[in-house]
Structure 1
Amino acid sequence: MSSRLRVMISCGEPSGDLYAGALATEIQRIEPSAIVTGFGGDRLQRAGGTLVHHFSGLSVTGLTEAVRVVPRAWGIYRDLVDAARTERPDVFVAIDFPDFNFVLARAIHKLGIPVVYYISPQLWAWRRGRLSTMKRMVDRVLVIFPFEAPFYERAGVPVSFVGHPLLELTAPAQPRETFMRTHGLDPARPLVALLPGSRRNELRAILPDLVAAAGRIADRLPAAQFAIARAPHLADDSFAPLAAWPSGATRPAMIDQATDDVLASADVAIVASGTATVQAAIHGCPMVVVYRLAPLTYRLGKPFVHVDTYAMANLVAGRRIVPELIQEAFTPEAVAAEALRVLTDPGHAARVRTDLAEVRARLGAPGASRRAAEEVLAVTRASKTRRV
């Protein structure tokens, strides 16, 4: 292996940045002189990556929302392709963020650079037409859920199941009692975690109904207290709906950069569908999964969806073990009812925790980031062997 291994990584949102940072760290442990560059966030940068661009402000959901960021995304895309053409990395690693990374990976593949897709697009759920493109442009797909590998194998796409990196990245920093007292919370009272998403438009669509649900929970269970796990890079005005916080509910603790501590301490979590649902499952935290897209985006996308459940905990379990409240089903009344069921029915809460423990076991063993790094380096070795 060359002493100057070059790796380009592209991720476009906080969850991908978490995985990118861990991957870069493991690559550099194996190859200490490796040069890591690309598109990402603070975690990739802290792991030693040199950023061509930072993703702050680029990540959105929905068709109508995505249109607004197209000009900036196009500029970033061109800069990354130019960087790949100039620097000639030994391998390009795309991490999730499919609408951007799919186009970028195709362009970099055309430059003759090996491509690894880590945290693969959810083609098993929708847009399966992309599978043929994936087969042509990717040297290997690294998947983190056990049911994904057979899907790619059937299509003839080289694939490895490496396990879920969150298994080694989710340890809480403090014991529950210490954490709660540090943030003005009472360890003897039930804690409801609110995770309204990591994108500005998600908060706009989701947070108002979580605020209203908190009031209904407090009406039934006055001892309930609340904590908001704040995702990085969200401006203060994204939380404007908190101005309508119900007077009968204890004011929420706003907690930055400590999602795992919040979930490890909570009795129930109300979570926007996404990576945080996997974090909740790993911590054994019963959850209510919610989501809402712009109506036009939802109507246009729904015919192309090939699954009947959205939460990863349910997909991994193969059955519905946590409630999902999507679009019209997502109401303050429904959220409160599901959360209160966990808070007031110990038998139900225990059954959910047992089911979540099974989900955690199916996610593989810790060490996914190391295994992913080894797979990435194996692709570079195979590529160099073919060129000799």
Structure 2
Amino acid sequence: MTRHIVICAGESSGDALAAGLVHELTHLEPGLRYSGMGGTHVRAAGVETLIDVEELAVVGLVDVLVNYPRLRRLFRHMCAHLDATRPDLLILVDYVEFNLRLAAHARRLGIRVLFYVSPQLWAWRPGRIRRIQRCVDAMAVLFPFETEIYHQAGVPVRYVGNPLVDRVQPPRVTIHERLGLPGDTRLIGLLPGSRSGELKRHWPLLVETVLRLRQTHPDVQFVVSLAPGVTRERLTALAATKDLRLHFVGGDAATHSLMAGADLLLIASGTATLEAGLLRAPMLVFYRMGALSHAVFSRLVRLKDIALVNIVAGSRVVPEYLQKDARPDRLACAAGNLLDQPQELERMRERLERVRERLGSGGADRRVAQMAQELLQHGQLQDGATAAPSNRD
């Protein structure tokens, strides 16, 4: 009888992680059947998707409240799928609140659960560890310092490393070649995010920032990275761009070319900052959330820095502009000052070296696949199985 795995990834970054895991697990355990929720990456990997990540893309309390009826319907759909199929293993990739609830349902059905990408318990809401204790059979974490949290709570855990180390490599084609521009053209990359709420708050901010920089640095070209599902038309509907003469690129390869080749990035806080850090890309990180979400978040968060690139580096290696500080005048002024001081850009690149050092070697996809294989074959993690090598401090 064909063994069945349900995979649940709730946004574009999780979709890519889940696909890498499926590719590796297919090599280790040929003949498995996969179904669940995800996007283009998991579909290409052979997963039958019942729910697309585009239906799940919400951020912040207000977005969640507004979309709660739809999210509840999708959650019930996944619960019904577990009820009907009773898979051999449920693999949950990030998308924490939705997936922890699904884990609880799976536990009631006696289904094994592997959770890939730990919620940031070290940053806020550490009490979630109790929910994880009750319904997760094994946790795969991306950062070595996360393992101690789970060891103390008695949750089987393994540090697998960060899959971005494998996926983010120096590009073969430069961004100047892709755009047909002279090699000495100065470029600023614009990365507003991927989710609807982020785009609504960030794209008008970036448009106004570009207008200001056009006045002070008319020679600079601006390149927009389009996340999966984001189109030029969608951005234009949020803020007109016809007079800005922007370039647009999409896909991982082109985005990594932009990160590696731009003089500076204006980038929304998220996983993309870590990708940029691995390519030593000078950047200004910004983020805006809704007023209600920020009021709650600011009371719960326990970190001084929120950008992953700074958290991994262990200090603020790139500037952060959050909420009221994320203003066009401040971003334009900071960007202009950096463009006028190439030595500062180079110093930022040097500081970013520690990001790749701290993330260690590659192989995360294979290590998570091995965890899934152990759960399939033995029902639990096996002592002495392969773990990621330790990182340098």
Q: TM-score, normalised by structure 1?
A: 0.92
Tell me how far 1:360 sits from its aligned partner.
1.2
Aligned-partner SS, 1:234: coil
Question: Which whole-Å CA distance do the structure 2 matches of 1:146 and 1:131 have between them?
Answer: 17
1:305-335 CA-to-partner distances (Å, cap 9, x unmatched) read: 1111100111111111111101001011221
Aligned-partner SS, 1:227: strand
Distance 1:136 1:227, change over 3 A: same
Question: Which whole-Å CA distance do the structure 2 matches of 1:16 and 1:288 have between them?
Answer: 24
Aligned-partner SS, 1:85: helix
Partner of 2:55: 57
Asked if 1:308 is matched to 2:304, the reply is yes
Tell me how far 1:299 sits from its aligned partner.
0.8
Aligned-partner SS, 1:56: helix
Partner of 1:225: 221
Q: Is the 8 A contact 1:58 1:69 kept in 2?
A: no
Partner of 1:197: 193
Q: Is the 8 A contact 1:291 1:326 kept in 2?
A: yes
Partner of 1:256: 250
Partner of 1:150: 148
Question: Which whole-Å CA distance do the structure 1 matches of 2:142 and 2:262 have between them?
Answer: 25
Query: Match of 1:76, as an amino acid?
Result: L
1:324-378 CA-to-partner distances (Å, cap 9, x unmatched) read: 1010010112212332343222222222112211111211211111111111211
Deviates more, 1:355-364 or 1:69-78: 69-78
Q: Is the 8 A contact 2:374 2:380 kept in 1?
A: no
Question: Which whole-Å CA distance do the structure 2 matches of 1:385 and 1:309 have between them?
Answer: 34
Q: Percent identity?
A: 36
Q: Is the 8 A contact 2:223 2:248 kept in 1?
A: yes
What value does the CA root-mean-square deviation take over the aligned residues? 2.0
Tell me how far 1:172 sits from its aligned partner.
5.9
Asked if 1:366 is matched to 2:362, the reply is yes
Q: Is the 8 A contact 1:226 1:252 kept in 2?
A: yes
Partner of 2:96: 98
Tell me how far 1:214 sits from its aligned partner.
1.5
Aligned-partner SS, 2:223: strand
Q: Which runs of 5+ in 2 are unaligned?
A: 383-393
Partner of 2:389: none
Partner of 2:210: 214
Question: Which whole-Å CA distance do the structure 1 matches of 2:159 and 2:380 have between them?
Answer: 24
Question: Which whole-Å CA distance do the structure 2 matches of 1:108 and 1:167 have between them?
Answer: 32
Question: Which whole-Å CA distance do the structure 1 matches of 2:144 and 2:188 have between them?
Answer: 30
Tell me how far 1:88 sits from its aligned partner.
2.0
Q: Is the 8 A contact 1:341 1:348 kept in 2?
A: no
Alignment of structure 1 residues 1-388 onto 2, 5 Å:
4-171=2-169, 174-176=172-174, 179-235=175-231, 236-244=233-241, 251-257=245-251, 258-383=254-379
Aligned residues: 379
Aligned-partner SS, 1:254: strand
Query: Match of 1:255, as an amino acid?
Result: V
Q: Is the 8 A contact 2:36 2:49 kept in 1?
A: yes
Tell me how far 1:184 sits from its aligned partner.
4.1
Aligned-partner SS, 1:213: helix
Question: Which whole-Å CA distance do the structure 2 matches of 1:210 and 1:312 have between them?
Answer: 21
Aligned-partner SS, 1:19: helix
Q: TM-score, normalised by structure 2?
A: 0.91
1:275-299 CA-to-partner distances (Å, cap 9, x unmatched) read: 1111111111011111101111111
Q: Is the 8 A contact 1:116 1:141 kept in 2?
A: yes
Q: Is the 8 A contact 1:286 1:342 kept in 2?
A: no
Question: Which whole-Å CA distance do the structure 2 matches of 1:202 and 1:195 have between them?
Answer: 11
Runs of 4+ that moved beyond 3 A: 171-174
Tell me how far 1:384 sits from its aligned partner.
7.7
1:2-50 CA-to-partner distances (Å, cap 9, x unmatched) read: x733211101111110111111111101112111111111110000101
Deviates more, 1:56-65 or 1:325-334: 56-65
Distance 1:384 1:193, change over 3 A: closer
Distance 1:361 1:181, change over 3 A: same
Aligned-partner SS, 1:57: helix
Question: Which whole-Å CA distance do the structure 2 matches of 1:172 and 1:239 have between them?
Answer: 31
Aligned-partner SS, 2:240: helix
Distance 1:4 1:338, change over 3 A: farther
Tell me how far 1:97 sits from its aligned partner.
0.7
Distance 1:241 1:184, change over 3 A: farther
Tell me how far 1:171 sits from its aligned partner.
3.6
